[in-house]
Amino acid sequence: MSSNDKGPPAGRNKPWSGRFSEPVTDLVKRFTASVGFDHRLAEFDIDASLAHARMLNAVGILAKPDLAAIEKGMEQILGEVRAGTFPWSLEYEDVHFNIERRLTDLVGDAGKRLHTARSRNDQVATDVRLYLRASIDHVLTLIKELQKTLLDLAEAHADTVMPGFTHLQVAQPVSLGHHLMAYFEMFARDAQRFAEARRRVNRLPLGAAALAGTSFPIDRLMVAKELGFDGVCENSLDAVSDRDFAIEFCADGALVMMHLSRICEELVLWMNPRFGFIDIADRFCTGSSIMPQKKNPDVAELIRGKTGRVNGHLVALLTLMKAQPLAYNKDNQEDKEPLFDTVDTLMMSLAVFTDMLAGVKVNKEAMRAAAQQGFATATDFADYLVKKGAPFRDAHEAVAQAVRLATDRGCDLADLKLADLQQFSPLIGKDVFEALKLDGSLKARSHLGGTAPARVKAAIAKARKGL
Ligand code: ARG
């Protein structure tokens, strides 16, 4: 894949090729190679190799000068990787062989000693875990940023009335702050899930070697400590074979994307002039090449669309794993692209969504007007009758008839005359109009978890503390 592709003599280019009478075909070489994508693991591979080498030295398997040579060589390799000058080569199949080969080119026999008491099987499992741990930490930071933005917007709109929907029909008035805090809760659970997944990710596979462990007196706990793992994988077969931790990451990612997609769907609807609830800043929208009037919420739509792609990766990984016998199989090489794309998609979506949300302009008047038009306080009307002594079912029926009359007249409940309302129940008095007010409806729901602005503000304050 790189122009530096010199390569060794045909047939002898792989560390395992000694056993073979002919080299793999070019097609097989390209088919089996993963370096085109797993080079992303390079820095983790180097970290893990250094920890392994230091342990080998500590237990007397690797001489001090060899360790020094490996450290020096790896330092140069790290520099090359970061500078983009590392000579990645398809000849050496994957990130692990490429780095080992380069090390040997740079420091000679010491490089060849590094692979003592280790296999690419425990090596790759370690690299992926290190990569995922770093990715989880990054994702957690991004979720926190999003939560902060949600809190700011919710705080500014704790008193903003909007129609709450069920079945996408106007149901009851809610505060926009309350609505946004619903998403805060969802993302809080997402963050918890990632934090829990991190605990399972953060265990060291190295030492499992190919599958059965090694005959060398290795110190796995020392390696675990050096690499910041909480402990080691307890069974060598399990350590090299299962990718449940990667599947879990994708599942947690799919849930985040699903939540993002839901709120994006709402933003798209709300920006439609029929709603007119919000405006999304121009820098997050695009126009049409043919319709000059258009302003399209592309970013929100694209996040909604990318959700499908992450769902696909989750299913790909589940399918990849489902029929694999113990222990390592080459199938597992296929875990990387779905995983990497999940990480990229998740991080990009979270970052761009947070930016976009911070720039959303709310049209309070439109929200209030929509709540006023949809009989949103019909339940409050029924509750009013119940408080006057009517059984709830009778109250429900009386209000339903009042809604019907208002619908026929093309007006809202509060626009009906007292005498009109009284034909549905003798319990109705002048004070009914208080019950039909939006702000009264909101304020009345002041219990824990309710939409009363005071309660919403308390929830925001609590959430802020918790972050
Ligand atoms: N590139 C391989 C992977 O991603 C590394 C492990 C290869 N092990 C093996 N026995 N072929 O899984």
The pLDDT tens digits of the residues spanning 191-217 come to 999 999 999 999 999 999 999 999 999
* Protein residue with its CA nearest to atom 2 in ligand 1: 333
Mean of pLDDT values over 309-316: 98
**Minimum-distance ligand 1 atom for the alpha carbon of 210:** 10
Mean of pLDDT values over 4-25: 71
Q: What pLDDT score was predicted for residue 4?
A: 47
Q: What pLDDT score was predicted for residue 290?
A: 85
3-state SS, residue 229: coil
Q: What pLDDT score was predicted for residue 421?
A: 94
Decide if 149 contacts 357 (C-beta within 8 A). Answer: yes
The 10 Å Cβ neighbour count of residue 185 is 15
When the pLDDT of each residue in the chain is averaged and rounded to a whole number, the result is 95
For residue range 140-161, list pLDDT tens digits in order. Answer: 999 999 999 999 999 999 999 9
Task: Find the 93 Cα to ligand 1 centroid distance in Å.
Answer: 9
Task: Find the 121 Cα to ligand 1 centroid distance in Å.
Answer: 6
**Minimum-distance ligand 1 atom for the alpha carbon of 332:** 12
Q: What pLDDT score was predicted for residue 12?
A: 63
Regarding beta strands 203-204 and 231-232, do their DSSP bridges make them parallel or antiparallel, or are they unpaired? parallel
Question: Which DSSP letter does residue 208 get?
Answer: S
Task: Find the 95 Cα to ligand 1 centroid distance in Å.
Answer: 10
For residue range 443-459, list pLDDT tens digits in order. Answer: 999 999 999 999 999 99
pTM comes to 0.94
Task: Find the 330 Cα to ligand 1 centroid distance in Å.
Answer: 6
Catalytic positions, written as ranges = 167, 288
For residue range 350-389, list pLDDT tens digits in order. Answer: 999 999 999 999 999 999 999 988 899 999 999 999 999 9
**Tokens coding 84:** 């983009």
Q: Cα-flanking dihedrals φ and ψ of residue 164, to 5°? A: -85, 145
* Range picked from 19-23, 121-125, 407-411 for highest mean pLDDT: 121-125
**Minimum-distance ligand 1 atom for the alpha carbon of 94:** 1
Q: What pLDDT score was predicted for residue 3?
A: 42
Q: What pLDDT band is residue 438 in, cutting at 50, 70 and 90?
A: very high
- How many CA atoms lie within 13 Å of 43's alpha carbon, on the beta-carbon side? 10
Lowest-confidence region among 16-20, 84-88, 118-122, 241-245: 16-20
pLDDT at residue 95 is higher than 90: yes
Name all domains of the chain by residue range, CATH numbers in brackets.
33-113 (1.10.275.10), 120-154+174-368 (1.20.200.10), 372-466 (1.10.40.30)
pLDDT at residue 294 is higher than 90: no
* Protein residue with its CA nearest to atom 4 in ligand 1: 333
Residue tagged 């307890």 (tokens)? 234
Q: What pLDDT score was predicted for residue 285?
A: 94
More reliable by pLDDT, 289 or 63: 63
* Protein residue with its CA nearest to atom 11 in ligand 1: 330
**Tokens coding 299:** 């970013």
Most informative mutation of 19, 49, 88, 121 for ligand 1 (most atoms within 8 A of CB): 121
Task: Find the 248 Cα to ligand 1 centroid distance in Å.
Answer: 21
Most informative mutation of 16, 31, 330 for ligand 1 (most atoms within 8 A of CB): 330
**Minimum-distance ligand 1 atom for the alpha carbon of 95:** 1
**Tokens coding 12:** 């002898």
Decide if 311 contacts 342 (C-beta within 8 A). Answer: no
For residue range 401-415, list pLDDT tens digits in order. Answer: 999 999 999 998 989
Lowest-confidence region among 5-9, 50-54, 403-407: 5-9
The count of residues in the chain is 467
* Protein residue with its CA nearest to atom 10 in ligand 1: 121
Task: Find the 265 Cα to ligand 1 centroid distance in Å.
Answer: 41
Decide if 456 contacts 178 (C-beta within 8 A). Answer: yes
| Ligand 1 proximal residues by C-beta, below 6 Å | 34, 38, 94, 120-121, 124, 328, 330, 332-333
Q: What pLDDT score was predicted for residue 2?
A: 45
**Minimum-distance ligand 1 atom for the alpha carbon of 93:** 1
